[in-house]
Amino acid sequence: MPNSISVARRLATQAIHFVIGVLLIGTLVMTPPAISGEETASIYGGGGVFLDIGGKFGGWAHSVSGGSMQGESYSSPTIISQSGEAVRDLDITFGMDMAPVWWAWINQVLGKNPGRTQDMAVIRTDFEGRQIDRIVLREARIKRIAFPLFDGAGKEPILFTVRMSAASSKQERTTPQIAPPRSKLRFPLNNAFGFELGGLPMQRTHRVVPPLVTIEFGRSRIGTSRTQAPAAPIVNIGNMTVNVPMRDYDFIRDWVDAFILGQATQDNLTQARLSVLSPDFKQVIMTIDFDRVGPVRFQPTAVDSSSNKIMTAELELHIEQVRITF
């Protein structure tokens, strides 16, 4: 009898362990991955997210994050404050297949109207392309534009990211109408590019890190009173870095030295152009122009003597204006 009781207890213990194991596995499968960053939100698999800009289709976003949003869908929109200025920033990552109204807005921000605002919406869809709900953003404005890295050895899709804020936000349920069709554009990779800098030999440029553009918004006092009014936005364009092979070093060094030795003036600033090519490298599908460009630093990059990598030099450039053209 004791042996039977022992066997029964052992079998019961194994059964309990089995049930606990199944529950743990189920929990791991059903629990969404943790999100690093300022906020944590659940990720729900599903269709996608597209943008509505002033009542016009803005294009399908690659991802939307910040506030309550993450990935290609978002969790509880109540994480976004409903109290005006307290609305949290939103990061939108997108490819080159966005609609013209979206690119026009970005160019306005990069150009003469950095404070341009838009009433817009971020709309979530299900697997079958039906709209589920939307977050309406009033007076949204772009605070930062991050360009993709271009690398001759890279094979990543070309993606941009903008950071936005809004005066207010509101969640709305929508009817299950079908969303606009997705673009059939084949995403070019970040190794498909060409670079020009004045008349310098840049054909062998193999890496370009475009500048980060930020727009600062503030408020200024009116006279001696405590009344404040929105101040004009300030556009800050970071420096750009370009890597070229050492075989072109001397030609570029002469141009750099003219600035460093004070032999060049503001009139000697030049232009640069980054051409985004189609996946087959045969067609230019976008150009990013940089105006009033001058050198900041030019030096060989550190390399291990035992490495087989080609020695390169890194050129850092100051930029005063950026323009995007399709």
Give 156-165 pLDDT, tens digit per residue. Answer: 999 999 999 9
> What burial letters (b/e) apply to 71-98, b meaning 16+ CB within 10 Å?
bbbbbebeebeeeeeebbebbbbbbbeb
Residue 133 predicted with pLDDT over 60: yes
Taken as a whole, the chain contains a residue count of: 326
306, 305, 207, 203: which is closest to 247 by C-alpha? 203
Range of the domain at 136: 48-173
**Is residue 215 situated within a structural domain?**
yes
Segment 125-134 shows an average pLDDT of 89
Among left, alpha and beta (phi > 0; psi -120 to 50; other), residue 128 is alpha
Instruction: Check whether residue 201 and residue 132 sit in a common domain.
Output: no
Give 75-101 pLDDT, tens digit per residue. Answer: 333 334 444 345 778 999 999 999 999
Instruction: Check whether residue 213 and residue 146 sit in a common domain.
Output: no
Structure tokens at 37: 């960053």
Pairing of strands 234-237, 270-277: unpaired
Assign residue 265 the CATH number of its domain. Answer: 2.30.110
Give 186-234 pLDDT, tens digit per residue. Answer: 778 999 999 999 989 899 999 999 999 999 987 555 555 554 556 789 9
* Inter-residue contact 138 to 169 (CB < 8 Å): yes
Instruction: Check whether residue 105 and residue 209 sit in a common domain.
Output: no
pTM attached to this predicted model: 0.77
Looking at the structure of the chain, the number of domains it has is 2
Distance between CA atoms of residues 304 and 310, nearest Å = 10
Instruction: Check whether residue 126 and residue 169 sit in a common domain.
Output: yes
- Residue 113: strand, helix, or coil: coil
Question: Which pLDDT value is given to residue 24?
Answer: 33
Assign residue 147 the CATH number of its domain. Answer: 2.30.110.20
* Inter-residue contact 94 to 183 (CB < 8 Å): no
Distance between CA atoms of residues 160 and 269, nearest Å = 27
**Is residue 203 situated within a structural domain?**
yes
